[in-house]
Structure 1
Amino acid sequence: MTNRKRPQRLNEVAGIGVDRMGALADASGGELLRLENLDVDIPPDPAAVERTRRAVSEDGANSYLPFIGQIGLRQAAARHVSRSSGVDYAGERQCIISAGGLAGILNVLLATVDVGDEVIVTDPTYAGLLNRIRLAGGVPKLVPFVFTPGAEWRLDREAMRAQIGPKTRAMLLMSPSMPSGGYFDRDDWAWIAGLCVAHDLTLILDAAMERLLFDGRSVVHPASFPGMAERTITVGSSAKELRMIGWRVGWIVAPESYMPDLVAVSIANCVVPVGIAQEAVAIALDRSHTSLPDYAGELERRRDVLLRELDGLPVGVPAGGWSLLLRVSDFGIDGAKMSDRLLAEKVAATGMAGWGERHGKEFIRFVFSNEPVERLRGVGAKIRAAARI
């Protein structure tokens, strides 16, 4: 066995826990309630599925080219971000297709963050985003959401201001945030925009869930604020909003000043996703502007069932997204212990170690995108049994 030195960039890269729980749930043969993984049981747009089937036999889809993505998808992604932001983006000049949203995030970080640069994120944040900041050589600086049991998560504005220092280069933010469902309203985004402009920061927007909003909320895109169009990079994905997880398609829409570096990194890293996926995603993205409200409404119904089931327990109310969090430290255990106990109750759920500093291992997350309302009913009794309350 060689005495191999582990690369330093991996020292703080943490596992996300989902793979172990997913394997246990898969092995159960459907016996477990699947609340552990960011999957969805609602199928993609049938037109996108049919287009994928046809593309398998098309020579033009069996290609690496174009290296920055098929023009039809780039135009569709630019139209989509233009509609959300009010900024006029051109797909020919301001969009790159990536092999999934997270690959797009890594490419953006590699193109904008130098070794030792600090990147502002919320606490909690998906561990995969934190890991990608570290892989790019950056340092995550966590800003805690304010957690109040039974209420929505709120941005701690002063904590965000306090985290900005001379090494801060960028912010990497989501609204609604994963996994908390925390939402930035117009006033929050105005505050964030003011900080970005004042400190000359790049804002990397992970827009994977931006339209999965509840309680009548609307999308607020940060590029719409003064001084932000020239410093906001939007990364989208086919996974959450289009329910096309296995297609592994993402897009980066950015100001032209960033494009040379983004193109260089994208071509050097993973180039594009499979050709058979791209036109299908373009179709689904264009059609989603009329079909998505029904889907978001179904997610809201599932959230509401879980909230009723967990009434009186220390949960954060998500304003959107696919998941909600329960603070299990109130019961004298951590998320990993709660996860083990829930397996005995036939529930698969994953702890939060590595997903935050203040809001990490003390919580467990429940993903409600993969189980219908009928199967979610009654889960409260199982969760209380696992918590032994």
Structure 2
Amino acid sequence: MNLHEYQAKELLKKYNVPVQEGISADSVMAAEEAYRQIKSETNSKFAVIKAQIHAGGRGKGLIQGTEQHGVQVVKSAEEAAAVARNILGGVLVTKQTGAEGKKVNKIFVAKDAYYEGEHPVAEFYLSILLDRSKGQNVIMYSTEGGMDIEEVAEKTPEKIFKEWVYPGGGLMPYQAREIAFNLGLSGTAFKNCVKFVTNLYNAYIGTDASMLEINPLFKTSDDKIIAVDCKLNIDENALMRHPDIEALRDVTEEDPTEVEAGQYNLNFVKLDGNVGCMVNGAGLAMATMDMIKLSGGDPANFLDVGGTANAETVEAGFRIILKDPNVKAILINIFGGIVRCDRVAAGVIEAFNKLGNIEIPIIVRLQGTNAEEAKKLIDESGLKVQSAILLSEAADLVKKAVA
């Protein structure tokens, strides 16, 4: 589950991770008031308004149809109101959103972190995620923080440092010091960085995060180390332990069909192909997608209805798949182990009757317990549903459907 920057920062603060403070706003008036409040609390010359969407590259991204960037500096309440008016409700297009962009429903009015002081400021990069090849968490960091970290990784990979952390042991003090040393810090900044990295790793573990990225990790002119930006992804399988975090979910940032699928406990991911598929079991779903590809089609989705498929889940799956105008055929591939094939067949027939006239070809492959009875039910239903028992038969039917 993805979080917005302002939500992620609130979670980090619970683990004593210093962040760039700010106020979220969902209206022009709220943005103007947020600026005035920040101005009254600090002597800074400006504030920063940041569009809140689940995507990176906001600083270089543009609001569709304008020259307005997703991150802008403002120096007055009037300017804050004008920028908020241009951003809120607009569609922000970045490298990560694709051409369709994402609608901005909230902004974050942040305090100035670039105030003048005794020492030069510096921007770094730091992220924590699981390295599956090693079975350990890895902290990746670089002295080259900012908006072009992808370019740094591509052109100068030697500037990217990595520190692996054994999950059972946690981050060792010497590792936190190694990170601060490689970032070229000393004195107070060094000590603050060690504390920052230690607390940040605790936040990563404590929230059951799958990825935590700070870019930039910022050294202020008085040697404080703070998170100016934060991208935090939470492992959805661990949300049962974090009802407070689950409550932060913003469904407006997600694909509507994936949200609807979740309401029926369906595992659904939308893809760009032309053959919809409905399968029970993730492994079988992957094999089915491969088969569709080998048959000359392209999978339009990943849809796992689980081991207890019934008429309701089958109907919901049909309805979700049919919302995609690119789908030219639907393949239902069920292995009857826990669930009997004849029950699934009955569910398909019931769902088909409820949904009414479906013009595109429906191919149903049922194998396992009571597969022959299921095929007979479908063949005698009078519906325009093609049945198969062997995977090769289903593949041939898919090939004909998309030819």
Q: TM-score, normalised by structure 2?
A: 0.25
Q: Which structure dedicates a bigger proportion of its chain to strand? A: 2
Give the number of the structure whose alpha-carbon radius of gyration is greater. Answer: 2
Higher relative contact order, structure no. (Cα contacts within 8 Å, ≥ 6 residues apart)? 1
